[in-house]
Amino acid sequence: MTPDHYHLSCPVCGLTYRDTYQSGCPSGCTSLLRAEYTQKQITIRNLPGVFRFSDWLPVRGSLQTRAAPVSYQSSGLAKELGLSNLRISFSGYWPEKGAYVTSGSFKEFEALPTTVRLRERASGVILVASAGNTGRAFAEVSAETGQPVIVVVPKKAVSRIRTSRRADHLLLIAVDGDYTDAITLGNGLSSIPGVFPEGGAKNVARRDGMGTVMVESVLTSGRMPDWYVQAVGSGTGGISAWEAGLRLVNDGRFGSSLPHLLLIQNHPFTPMVNAWNAGRREIIGDLDMQNPVESIGKVFSDVLTNRAPPYGISGGVYDALSGTGGSMLTASTPDAQAAFDLFLDLEGIDPDPAAAVAVAGLIHAVESELIPVDDSILLAITGGGYERIARDISPVENKPLIMVQAGTDPADIADQVRAWVNRYV
């Protein structure tokens, strides 16, 4: 067997480990393990989609895909905001720009390497509890490649798990309840042998897959930007951009300063902004997340409403912001709505609502002079092109194979899930 081109390292104890699909430090530290790659200088590989960045992905193999981030120099939005160097990274579907993310968001850059990493490092099936972009991204990868996946969603979100063709190797489980009920059921099913939870920010394939947004832009433009701007719910994309920046500094060809992160949350649900602006590493629920149900009901983008983000954990969002001289801002729902219209008008494609929040945050940052107009900026449009997807691809709905009431004991469906998993493991 060829030796691995990376190992996992713990930012707390400093020890390194072979990747056996562990999600935490084997020595018991509370931290995000990081992948460290043998190749200090990245070489673009002749591989499909995002796998062309495999030097810095925790995978050997690849899948057939055209999904990869695409960046370009903005003229429309740049002129409107008076910016001399605004680069847009577009993670969605926009054929004229060469962007073919058929599920519509950068979660597909996570789903692709995660699927391969699991296949190479363990024997099993990924389980994702997500009502939104993550669930659809994994279902799409499954539909396109035949890799099995389990997706647990609230019943009312079943229609969101559309794929470009029918996903025959998708076990879609619908819960007659809300998102929290789906997560609870998913957690209960994760103890079935061969079932692996997707892992969120702890999953290095997720982070390094999302990190390709920064990598692609820097390789294409030839230099590191001064700023990386993204709307966040968990902040995993921000952590990923920081880690990619560290690798790019180490690469040596693109500059020696890390891009400052500007991370934006959608008012009124802004727990990380509140904690960060109070100078705290900890999110305090009573202070930072008052009336969460009510405030979550008022946001423009519900993918930005994570209640337990990897903020304070070692190697998490707080460290990413501290390590890059970063900032956090909020953007209101009306501002995000206006930014959506502006972006569509000036750049010519519909952004994901979360990406519209990022545009609104960038506008605030320029108006308040947090970002000088001549700084180089990388704006992460983390999803978009849904109108084109609906028109060109007409994605199909997938039928749930299992439907349960909220609060169902996972043991009641464990046999059925086990039988399905055993077809693949």
Ligand X SMILES: *Cc1c(COP(=O)(O)O)cnc(C)c1O
Which residues of the chain form contacts with ligand X (CB under 6 A)?
Answer: 105, 107, 133, 231-238, 303-304, 352, 354-355, 382-383
Determine the Cα–Cα distance for residues 340 and 215; give it in Å rounded to an integer. 26
Give the SS3 label for residue 230: strand
Query: Closest approach of Cβ 313 to Zn ion, in Å?
Result: 12
Query: Closest approach of Cβ 12 to ligand X, in Å?
Result: 22
Query: Closest approach of Cβ 241 to ligand X, in Å?
Result: 9
145: tokens are: 């490649």
Q: Is 390 in the site for Zn ion (CB under 5 A)?
A: no
Query: Closest approach of Cβ 137 to ligand X, in Å?
Result: 8
Instruction: Choose the contact partner of 382 out of ligand X, Zn ion, none; CB within 5 to 8 A by kind.
Output: ligand X
Binding segment for Zn ion among 8-16, 129-137, 181-189, 383-391 (CB under 5 A)?
8-16
**Chain residues 28-67 in contact with Zn ion, contact rule CB under 5 A:** 29
Q: b or e along 382-411 (b: 16 or more beta carbons within 10 Å of the residue's beta carbon)?
A: bbbbbebbeeeeebeebebebebeeebebe
Determine the Cα–Cα distance for residues 118 and 260; give it in Å rounded to an integer. 32
Instruction: Choose the contact partner of 370 out of ligand X, Zn ion, none; CB within 5 to 8 A by kind.
Output: none
273: tokens are: 């902004």
Instruction: Choose the contact partner of 27 out of Zn ion, ligand X, none; CB within 5 to 8 A by kind.
Output: Zn ion
**Residue 135 or 315 having the CB closest to Zn ion:** 315
Instruction: Choose the contact partner of 29 out of Zn ion, ligand X, none; CB within 5 to 8 A by kind.
Output: Zn ion
253: tokens are: 């060809």
Binding segment for Zn ion among 20-28, 170-178, 350-358, 379-387 (CB under 5 A)?
20-28
Query: Closest approach of Cβ 194 to ligand X, in Å?
Result: 26
Q: Beta-carbon neighbour count of residue 223 at 10 Å?
A: 13
- C-beta separation of 326 from 244 below 8 A: no
DSSP 131-161: SSHHHHHHHHHHHHH---EEEEEEGGGGGG-
Q: How many residues sit close enough to Zn ion to count as binding (CB under 5 A)? A: 6
Determine the Cα–Cα distance for residues 230 and 233; give it in Å rounded to an integer. 10
Cα dihedral sign for 406, 411, 415, 418? positive
Instruction: Choose the contact partner of 133 out of ligand X, Zn ion, none; CB within 5 to 8 A by kind.
Output: ligand X
